[in-house]
Amino acid sequence: MKKFYLTTPLYYVNDKPHLGHAYTTILADVLSRFHKMAGYEVFFLTGTDEHGQKIADAAEKKGRTPEEHCDETVEIFKALWKKLEIEYDDFIRTTEKRHTDVVSKCLQKLYDKGDIYKSSYSGWYCIPDERFWTEKDLVDGKCPDCGREVVHLEEENYFFRMSKYQDWLINHVKDNPDFIQPDTRRNEILGFLSKPLNDLCISRPQKRLSWGVPLPFDPEYVCYVWFDALLNYITAPGYLVKENEFNKWWPADYHLIGKDIVTTHGVFWPIMLKALEVQPPKTIFAHGWWLIEETKMSKSLGNVVSPEYLVTKFGVDQFRYFAMREMALGQDASFSPESITDRINMDLANDFGNLASRIITMIKRYRNSVVPESGALNKEDEELKRNANELPDRVFELVSQMKIHLALDSIIASVRQTNKYIENNTPWDLAKKGDDERLNTVLYVSAEMLRRIGLLLFPVMPNKIKQLREFLKTDEPINFESCREWGLLKPGNKVSLEESLFPRVMMESPQKTETEIMEKQKEIHDYVTFEEFKKLDIRIAEVLKAERMEDTKNLIKLEIDLGGETRTLVAGLAKYYQADEMVGKRIVVLANLKPARLHGTLSEGMLLAAESKEDVRLLVVDGDLPPGSQVH
Ligand code: MSP
């Protein structure tokens, strides 16, 4: 059997997933299902990237240990994938032993063969991004990537000899046009490789960051998060552990990624594999960005689109269809409430949903819900049938070329053609005239078309197509063969229409004002209800004692008076406050946060602070309210 191994990036668990993450995962699921329908044995891998500074910081901010934080956040990802009907074959977390054990072995192997060496480093470092920069990389003295402060570092570290493999990689990219796709990204990588490649710093001293895989040859250091995470693509299928299984799947057919992570995947990763003497993957495919109207989606702009919201508002299959139809793979796409509304109403409600309801309704009305036997086909019937015969191959070809939006377009074109066929053949007139034989044929041809076209949409809309199969009482296997074959809809089936498959969604008025668009836009985000807010017990507290926790990077232990009750809090503020400065302040505390143990101390609540790019300041009260006062 032909195999198909595809992966998504491993998502960082510093925050919950948004439209961009949902998109890549839906794309992988759709490709996986199309390949299963085409008879491939598929291995679809996704998971989470759990080490490194980003995650350690996110945990500290929440007053959790990194382990607790990851365990909680990974569940949010898994729950969303379930909601989105994602059927992955494996979910890997980079904190799992099956992964870290093999990462250690790979590091040791590269160290033993001299591809990892120790050297001193002096230069600029962006702590939140964990990236090193040279003086000339900096923009206004700040990180060129995220615009945040950088610090000057001079330290010993371990380096991976990437430069040694630069020529090999250039040749590999040139000789294998499919290796990095689309071509814009391939050219970007060739441009990047035209300059001398620096060796990659792959260690972080434990004293600065302990949340990572320890280097097996020097436990004073942990492994750089990207070096650890990329290896998941081989650790999950069993590299060095289950050789048969690994050899069955590797090389991966597709690594699906977003365009922002092309360098790590197109340069670091193939060189890591080459050094390990493992074949490179077949294709690294980078999709574009989802833009909100025309701007980048970002937390600071407050325009992050929540996939949960889209599912609740539009339905899971409708959202999946929109995501796949709207983005031409490789290019950016724009999300707006209008674009999703229009797409659902046009393609699904007007075309496909309408086709399904009118056919089933006519069979009900004219044939007492029983699928009739077809008479002889005329030229027009034959032509419709012939077009549908060719459709499955065309669809799979477009899918294999990563032109999913065009594959869907050709399916919907076939839906429109069938709708037109019904209009040309006017079954309602045939019924009036009593032309039973022709009526039976037109009804059967239309219904059989509906069955075949519906199956082709299964990878994108699995729930709705299952529902359609229940309406038509069909249970043929879900594969391309069943789409190709004519006549699998059995005469005599009793059809039903429980409900409309795709109700229209609220149409926007064409002359909307700017403010209306903005209002609508806001609706897409996650709102907190008053009920949810009421659950928070926020109170004023006075800091009685404060002490810096030795051996931690940023923690201060506080004793606070919450109005007659003394509690201990641990806060990650040592970068911004001296412990002494905090004593006597009336601060604001979330008193009913689940207690968490941080570096051995139980923290019973969380103080609130405001953060800008440069600083963090405590929230205090305007006036003299006693400790214990409630904040509403
Ligand atoms: N952890 C790394 C990947 C390691 S893979 C071994 C990472 N994680 S991420 O969570 O930040 O991003 C995951 C993916 O989401 C990336 O492919 C990124 O391109 C994608 N997206 C993030 N925002 C996006 C949009 N606005 N639109 C589409 N995808 C975008 O990077």
Tell me, using a 6 A CB cutoff, whether residue 233 lines ligand 1. no
Does residue 538 sit in helix, strand or coil? strand
Is the pLDDT at 11 greater than 90? The verdict is: yes
Q: Do 609 and 577 meet the contact criterion of CB atoms below 8 Å apart? A: no
Distance in Å, CA 17 to ligand 1 centroid: 10
Which pLDDT score is estimated for 523? Answer: 53
pTM equals 0.82
Please tell me the total number of residues recorded for the chain in this structure: 632
Q: How confident is the model at residue 524 (pLDDT cuts 50, 70, 90)?
A: low
Which atom of ligand 1 is closest in space to residue 232's alpha carbon? Answer: 6
Is the pLDDT at 513 greater than 80? The verdict is: no
Distance in Å, CA 375 to ligand 1 centroid: 55
Distance in Å, CA 405 to ligand 1 centroid: 21
Which pLDDT score is estimated for 596? Answer: 83
Which pLDDT score is estimated for 389? Answer: 94
Q: How confident is the model at residue 517 (pLDDT cuts 50, 70, 90)?
A: very low
Tell me, using a 6 A CB cutoff, whether residue 577 lines ligand 1. no
Distance in Å, CA 11 to ligand 1 centroid: 7
Count CA atoms closer than 13 A to 236's CA, side-chain side: 30
Least confident of 5-19, 117-131, 310-324, 455-469: 117-131
Tell me, using a 6 A CB cutoff, whether residue 258 lines ligand 1. yes
Q: How confident is the model at residue 522 (pLDDT cuts 50, 70, 90)?
A: low
Q: How far apart are CA 355 and CA 348, in angstroms?
A: 9
Tell me, using a 6 A CB cutoff, whether residue 269 lines ligand 1. no
Tell me, using a 6 A CB cutoff, whether residue 225 lines ligand 1. no
Q: Which residues pair with 160 in a beta bridge?
A: 116, 200
Over residues 261-302, the pLDDT tens digits come to 999 999 999 999 999 999 999 999 999 999 988 888 877 777
Distance in Å, CA 22 to ligand 1 centroid: 10
Q: Please tell me the residue having the least CA distance from ligand 1 atom 8.
A: 11
